[in-house]
Structures are given as structure tokens and as C-alpha cells.
Structure 1
């Protein structure tokens, strides 16, 4: 039986290590016993982009994605958007991007050199703040695939993004008609209530982690601004 092989380890905060493994031609990013993402389980991350942009109905949109991960959401968005679109991606860990350029280069392809991409090594909350204070333009869509969803396990600081204050800031960083889309590893009734409390028009969508209607059940919330 093939054993998974450790490629690299990076520390994103004191005591929090992420590990990149390969196994049978696939990659996975792991924290402790938690597999955070894998090339086997990518469909729901791709659907985060596909379904958001289908609802938005604009192929020249300015969108914000937090974070990069293995790039599934980013590449799905890039495939649907035209040349005049802008894709801002916030990734907290520079090592994640180095893995994309190095061990996972075949998966990444030429995506990181796309002229529509504006890649920032920062907390996505900082870019939402920039849109609210006028430092940058507001967004047609904000797609959040940060941590494990609202029930975060990687960084305590991620919880503020999914708080009432964080959701209100995301709402205010959207253009009229804009969409806030949030990926989650599972249902979260408390978060759903906070999202409804923003005054946005909310839809909850159940999607499988694999395109053959197999794998884990994940949740995507779409919250649209009037």
C-alpha cells in the first residue's frame, strides 16, 4: 500500500503547522489530524466560484477571493470571467503560494501569471476594510473559503470575518447587487442566523465534495445585496 509522503511543513502562527503531502498522485494540505484540502475533494471549492458567478451574471466582475488554498476557487473563477475582469486573491501564507509554484506547479499551471489576478499576501479582512474606507474599489462578489468555514480550526483571527461585525463589513464592501458567498465544511445554524441578520438575501446550498455526487456534504451560502 502506498504511504503518503510529506513534502513540506510551514508554520502560519505559533504552534500551528500546515503540512503538504502527496499520495497516489494527489496532494493534500493537513493540520494535525485534519485534512484541510485535497486534490481529490475539490468540487465544492470550484462550485463556490461557478455558482456565485452564475448568480452574479457578470463576466467582467471585480471579485475578492479569500484565500488561495490549492487555487480551485480561483481557477474556476478565472475560467468564467473575461479579460476585463479583476480577481483579487488574499492568502495569509506565503508558503501556500510557494507550494503552488513548486510542488504543485502542474496543478497551478500558468494561473498565477494571469494579468487579471491581483494576489495579496494578507488577511482578507484587510482588503474588505480597504474597500470600505475607499482605499480600493468595492467588489461585485466576495468569496470566502477561509479556514474550515465559520467554525474555524486554523486561526482564531479568522473568527472575526464570520462575526456580525465582519459580515456587516463584507456587505458594505459589495457593490449594489453584489454577492457574498461563504464556503463551509458543514452546517452552522448560528452563522446562518448572523448572515440573515445582515439584511442580505440569503440562499443556502448543499454541495458534495466530489463531482460524482459523492464525498462529504459541504455548505455554500450566497448572500446578495439589493
Structure 2
């Protein structure tokens, strides 16, 4: 069963002369263990696709299923529970809580889902260590650089038993070496069966994906399977 199924998704903002069609009849399916990169020019609907996939907003028409659950039939509380337990997000603005340390930001979703504080903190520290942030675990977001905050957001998104990972330009604030570490962490999550959708304008980043979808003016205009890229370094079992 696919983790993410989006069928005939249309999203319209405004009415009359101010109407903007952000998405127009988009289909997207992502299977467990698969990474899909979404590319396209600014205003093509990439970020809107992500927010609808993650239940942060509803489509004007069309159907969305995450892990078999029809989002249209879920209450607000049920959607919140689905996001907390099953979906990991990486936003462009990071969305870290300023009053929590890096380790606390990463472990918070686990604690909200009922995992004990000590175990949640250990799993959070392990994710931070994979991204070279073990020595920054006790720092608050305003004590971290932009790249460090980005890595904390990545760690928070992949920690725990997520089914779907949604990332909007996840390596935009990072140097190439750290960007590669981020992609390795995301691919490690995919190897556990997580499905990932990554919005990017970077062709090198897209090369890590199993499939690339191209959007323009809210429509899928093409899709392709990239040639073997850096992900092959993780082994032939990908």
C-alpha cells in the first residue's frame, strides 16, 4: 500500500479576478521506502503540494490518503494526531520552538506521542549526532547558526516512527558536505520504509531521489527516474 496517494488534487485561492489556481488535477503516489523529488519554477505549486500532502491545508477538490487514511474523513484532532505520529516536516523557516534546546525540540514529538522523556531524549541525541550536532544539543535556536537550525529541523522530522517525510528545500542553508549528511539521514529513513517527498530546485539534490516530478503552473508536466547518484554510496540494496 502506498504511504501517500494524491488523486486529482486542485487548489484554488481567491475568487473572481483575484482567483489563483495553485494546483490543477495533480496526481502523486509515493510508496514505502521511496523518495520523490518535486521540481519546478517559483510559483509552480511545489510548496502547496507539500502542505496538502501533510494535511496542513485542504485541497479545493481531489482525494488525499496518508498511510491508508482518507484525510477528508478525519476530524481536526485526528489530523493533528496523524501529523504528530506519522508525518515529519522540514519547513523553510525551520519552525523550532525558541524556548526549547535543540535536543528538546527534536525529542518533543516523541514525548507528545507518549514515549518516556529519557528514551525520547536519547533518540533525539542520536539523530543530532548523525548530523554533527551532538555538541550543540543544549543550545537554544537563537544560539545556533542558520545551518545548525536547519539540521535540528531535519533531525526532528526523521526521529521516531514516521511514515511520511515532507521536506521543503531541506539543504538550502547548508554547505555541500552538510547537505550530503542531511540527504544520507533522509535516505536512511527511507531504508526503514519511510516515504519521502522533497521539494527542491537543486538538480544535484534531486539526483538522490528515486523519481523526479516536474511542476509548472500547478500541473505535472513530466516525471523521470534520475541516473544513479550519490545515494549509490549507501549500498546496492537501496
Identify the TM-score tier after normalising by the shorter chain. 0.3 to 0.5
Q: Which has the higher contact order (CA 8 A, sep 6+)?
A: 2
Give the TM-score of the pair, scaled to structure 1.
0.34
Give the TM-score of the pair, scaled to structure 2.
0.33
Q: Greater share of strand residues, 1 or 2? A: 1
Larger Rg: 2
Q: Greater share of helix residues, 1 or 2? A: 2
